[in-house]
Amino acid sequence: MSSYLTIKNLTVRLKNGAPILRAVSLDVAAGQVHGLVGESGAGKSMIGKAVLGTLPRALQVTSGEIWLDGVDLLSLPASERRRRIGATAALIPQDPLTALNPSKRIGPQITRRLVDILGWRKQDAEARALDLLGEVHIPDPARVMRSYPHELSGGMRQRILIASAFAAEPKLIIADEPTTALDVTVQKQILRLIGEMQARHNTALLFVTHDLGVVSKVCDTLSVLYAGKVVEEARMQRFFMRPIHPYSAALLAATPTYTNPDSSLTPVPQTVTDAVEREVREHDLRAGA
């Protein structure tokens, strides 16, 4: 099975040298879903941003490789890199309201990328957008194409962004907390939809989330991050049966579940954070040497 996305020893630093990602490596194969989990500030979103070339200005990739569909993105000149990324990867963002332009109708927002970047004819792009809106189970796609974002519910807007992400048949989709802003019932529909679309299009999916419950429903493999370092990489079933790293186990123990109300809810213990901090420092020493 070929990997659509391979990241090798990716290190991202602040301009002043402070590390944000510490030699992160991971693989996502076609048709696979890889989860990135961790607490806020662990750097899980930054991996996606590094791949898409949308890191904040204050950050830069200082070493490592990002192979997307057989090409090392970081070896390409900037303009060529952007073109490759635009043609092979797409993003499903967290907040469907801020990701859509409030002053433009839905239709042009989906077709713009196809027409302007990929050079499709306008009619083809519109036909494709209609098909996709149908595929994400939007009733009356023609009417929705003419609607403005504020006329649609949060769940509908997220469906539109999913359709839009799949529009150009990307090899890789990065979903960054795509359901955090939604109700549980809508979240369930959206997660199923993402899974269904991803399987049908055989896309590699990198799924960023802080919710271990969500991970257990959509991912095949996952990486647990702490302070920009992967502390555990695992297949999903094994991870939930026997997490190996103490930090992973602590995260699981801190997650409340309504089916198990009597087990004590344990915050990540100080001993565990101390140990994982030590690991990170040792890594930095080795990296500096």
Please report, as ranges, the residues that interact with other proteins according to CB under 8 A: 39-40, 154, 183-188, 191, 210-217, 236-237, 240, 250-252, 254-259, 261, 265-268
127: left (phi over 0), alpha (psi -120 to 50) or beta: alpha
Least distance to other proteins, CB of residue 269, Å: 9
3-state secondary structure of 277: helix
Least distance to other proteins, CB of residue 271, Å: 13
Least distance to other proteins, CB of residue 16, Å: 19
3-state secondary structure of 140: coil
3-state secondary structure of 21: strand
Least distance to other proteins, CB of residue 217, Å: 5
Name which of 215 and 230 has its Cβ closer to other proteins. Answer: 215
252-259 contacts: CB < 8 A, separation 24 or more?
Answer: 252/212, 255/212, 255/213, 257/213
Least distance to other proteins, CB of residue 71, Å: 34
Name which of 89 and 190 has its Cβ closer to other proteins. Answer: 190
Name which of 183 and 277 has its Cβ closer to other proteins. Answer: 183
- Return d(Cα 35, Cα 33) in angstroms, integer: 7
- Return d(Cα 240, Cα 234) in angstroms, integer: 9
Name which of 151 and 282 has its Cβ closer to other proteins. Answer: 151
Given a contact cutoff of 8 angstroms between Cβ atoms, the answer to whether 102 and 149 are in contact is yes
Name which of 15 and 262 has its Cβ closer to other proteins. Answer: 262
Q: How far does Cα 160 stand from its chain's mean position?
A: 17
